Amino acid sequence: MFKIRVTNIVITAHRTVPYASFLLSLQSQYQRGRVRYLRFVIPAILLLGITSCYKEVELPLYSGAVFELSVSPEMQEFIYDSRDTSYSIYEPDMVFSLDNWPLDLNEIRTRGKSALKFQRKSFRVSLNQTIALSGKDGSVQKQLSRFKLIAMAMDYTYIENRIGYGILEKQQIMPLFYRFVELKINGISQGVYLLIEDPEKYYKEFGSEFILRRGYYNSIADAEYEPSFHSIPRESYETRFKEIYSNLTLLQGEALYKALNQRMDMDQYFRKMGIDYLLQNGDYTDEIYFYAQVLQDQIRFSIIPWDYDDLFRSYPHEVGLSWGTGHLFGHRYYASHQDILDEIGNKLIFSIEDDLDYAIAMDPYLYDRYEITLTAMIEKIRTQDIDQLFEQVKNELTPFYNNKEVIYQSQFDQNETSFKRWEENMAEKKTMIIERLEAMKEQLKDIQK
């Protein structure tokens, strides 16, 4: 391993780099005065190319973070006009850059379900290199090679995912790196995006070799398996996950809790359920990842919460729908939110769409354990914490709301935004969370009496 440092450029022996394009970029930076001593650097880079075929370019720490995709006008129009179809974007001469620095792009692909219905698409990005990004407060940095760019086209003030992730992060159940960025296509701003670290990359950093995204009806919607740490076949990981649900109908009470906790981190899951209740998270079952960890030769799953773009709902996702609700306990259909409350009672659980959450609501021992975890968590959340979170979000989004080009793009979303609508929504949602937090604390006090 060796490096050559050229002011703010580092070339590290890892992967193949397109030398011609990189040297042209380097020459351009030299002409702009950003790189000095070019006559000494070029031979060194050429020598590096001869002595090693594995290279990686690590770009400097970025705080502005403006990504740009340069494609043909025809491809640009295709991206704008396409609907309901996910696809990879590729042209021989296209360029994906960060703050005008070309990146070694492996793949960029449109993603999401609802997001594909809009002009402003969300993207999944995979690079053949690592980029360093500063965090929300500018002090934390993350090395990324895979990430999502979320358009937030259904969130008219771009705050819901950020609020959800902020509270989850405080509870140590949101491990992914995230921050607001701007995306451009051919020099035209596409508006504000939320960059989120790819969970299917993150899990490998913690000695895990299997991750899945939960689907409806206790299924595995998607999974990634890369054996590198343990001699465990993929089928064993999948079976271990399925055992979580098979135990729901075989056991009850303390025996059920022990069986579940052996297979997944129930404390994490309880805390996520509590945050979902606090924030009234409407989209639920398939918005969570389970990644495997091996402890004393036993597989146990930890969780990564995912999309939080459907918060502050009056009722959960399953109301009025004839599909998606788990069926391990028979056919369950809820025509109204009151039907759910009639079934589970006045419990601090927002959704029972998934069979696991239904079991937690209906099994007295499981619910008691959930309530103990919830009480400990809620007691530690203070009004000042919510105030501070919203102040952070205000500071992060203000530069985007001061950018007319960014706000102009909201006309292509489900609803347009404005500075006034953003300020009003921020104030309203902060009040809602604080009031709901205090109501939860009072309800938990009454239960404990």
Q: What percent of the chain has pLDDT over 90?
A: 78
40, pLDDT greater than 60: no
For 290, residues 6+ apart whose C-beta sits below 8 A from its C-beta are: 211, 212, 214, 241, 264, 301, 302, 303, 304
User: What pTM did the predictor assign?
Assistant: 0.85
236, pLDDT greater than 50: yes
Q: What would the pLDDT profile of 109-153 be if each residue is shown by its tens digit? A: 999 888 899 999 999 999 999 999 988 777 778 899 999 999 999
Give pLDDT, residue 206.
Answer: 80
| Segments making up each domain of the chain, as ranges | 3-58, 66-200, 201-380
Q: How far apart are CA 214 and CA 24, in angstroms?
A: 45
Q: How far apart are CA 36 and CA 358, in angstroms?
A: 64
Q: What would the pLDDT profile of 244-292 be if each residue is shown by its tens digit? A: 999 999 999 999 999 999 999 999 999 999 999 999 999 889 999 999 9
> What token pair was written down for 330?
């028979």
> What token pair was written down for 331?
């056919």
More confident call, 35 vs 349: 349
Q: What would the pLDDT profile of 83-120 be if each residue is shown by its tens digit? A: 999 999 999 999 999 999 999 999 999 998 888 999 99
What average pLDDT does this structure show over 340-353?
97
What average pLDDT does this structure show over 393-407?
95
Strand pairing class (298-305; 101-102)? unpaired
What average pLDDT does this structure show over 306-312?
94
Pair 194, 152: CB distance under 8 Å: yes
Which amino acid would we find at residue 388? Q
Give pLDDT, residue 136.
Answer: 77
Give pLDDT, residue 58.
Answer: 55
The DSSP element (H or E) to which 58 belongs, if any, is strand 56-58
Average pLDDT over the chain reads 87
Under the phi-then-psi rule, with left for phi > 0, alpha for psi from -120 to 50, and beta for the rest, what region is 297?
left
Among 395, 130, 356, residue whose Cα is nearest residue 261: 356
Give pLDDT, residue 229.
Answer: 84
Pair 189, 182: CB distance under 8 Å: yes
> What token pair was written down for 49?
């190319």
């819901």: which residue's tokens? 160
